[in-house]
Structure 1
Amino acid sequence: MTIGKGLLFSLLISLVVQGCHSVVFKQSFDKQKWNDKEDWDYPQRNNVVDDLVKNHRLKGLNYKQLINLLGIPQGQSEDSAGIYYQIVMDFGNDIDPVYTKNLLIGFNKDSIVNSITINEWKKP
């Protein structure tokens, strides 16, 4: 009976440990965390992006105010009506990305933020 309980306990602990590796630890937005960069990766962005979008007024900011808050974007959106910030770029074991997650910011004709979208892409 003791061996069965020990085995069950060990199995439960290993499942909890494995589950913790896939959990993203959500944190409050912080400009320094947002701009923290290691090589071409932004390791803190995925942790703070939800708070940024939910609790910080981005819509209505002009381009300069947005750049003051988030820094220089990684690029321009495909339709050229906005910009994007890289949140996650996972290469897996490949030379090309297998997963990306970006924060897309759209502007109106007066360069005022009018849309915020999180776009995720996964290689089929």
Structure 2
Amino acid sequence: MKKSRVILVVIGLTVLLISACSKKQKFDRALWKDGDGLEFKYRDNMLDDLLQNHKIKGLTWKQVQDTLGRPQGTKGLSTYYDIDIKYDGYPPSYMKRLFIDFNQDSVAVNTRIYEKTNRKKKK
């Protein structure tokens, strides 16, 4: 009986520690927009909630900008928001972006995550 209580306590503490260490947070429009143009420290923590619980597909270009702010760039019918970039030289060693694809009527039809790691080659 004692052994099972100890196991339950250990499991409970482990779950508590794991959940406390999680940096995930709910999407917050003000925090999403908070950044200096090079670093947006809250975006990566909010990305999962944004994509799972907030409807982006079907929004117009203006509605997306009202929600997420001005994008960092556009490529054709897609726009992107920087999520995380590690600048330790050029090109950056790590890049994560949220792309939103629009149709000809400026309605969002798709979201996708772009991630790239540039590992320096050993000489």
What is the TM-score when the length of structure 2 is the normalising length? Answer: 0.76
Q: In the alignment, residue 80 of structure 2 is paired with which amino acid? A: Y
The answer to whether 1:30 aligns with 2:28 is yes
Return the alpha-carbon distance in structure 1 between the equivalents of residues 117 and 27 of structure 2.
25
The answer to whether 1:98 aligns with 2:87 is no
Return the alpha-carbon distance in structure 1 between the equivalents of residues 102 and 55 of structure 2.
14
Q: Deviations 1:28-86 (Å, cap 9, x if unpaired)?
A: 00001101114620000001011001100000000010000000000012xx1110000
2:3: which partner in 1?
none
Aligned pair count reads: 100
Unaligned runs of 5+ in 1: 1-19
Judge conservation of contact 1:99–1:123 (CA < 8 Å) in 2.
yes
The answer to whether 1:81 aligns with 2:77 is yes
Return the alpha-carbon distance in structure 2 between the equivalents of residues 44 and 81 of structure 1.
26
Aligned-pair CA distance for 1:96:
2.8
2:69: which partner in 1?
71
1:122: which partner in 2?
117
Return the alpha-carbon distance in structure 2 between the equivalents of residues 89 and 42 of structure 1.
9
Return the alpha-carbon distance in structure 1 between the equivalents of residues 22 and 78 of structure 2.
27
What is the TM-score when the length of structure 1 is the normalising length? Answer: 0.75
Return the alpha-carbon distance in structure 1 between the equivalents of residues 101 and 71 of structure 2.
12
Q: In the alignment, residue 107 of structure 2 is paired with which amino acid? A: I
2:6: which partner in 1?
none
Unaligned runs of 5+ in 2: 1-17
The answer to whether 1:110 aligns with 2:105 is yes
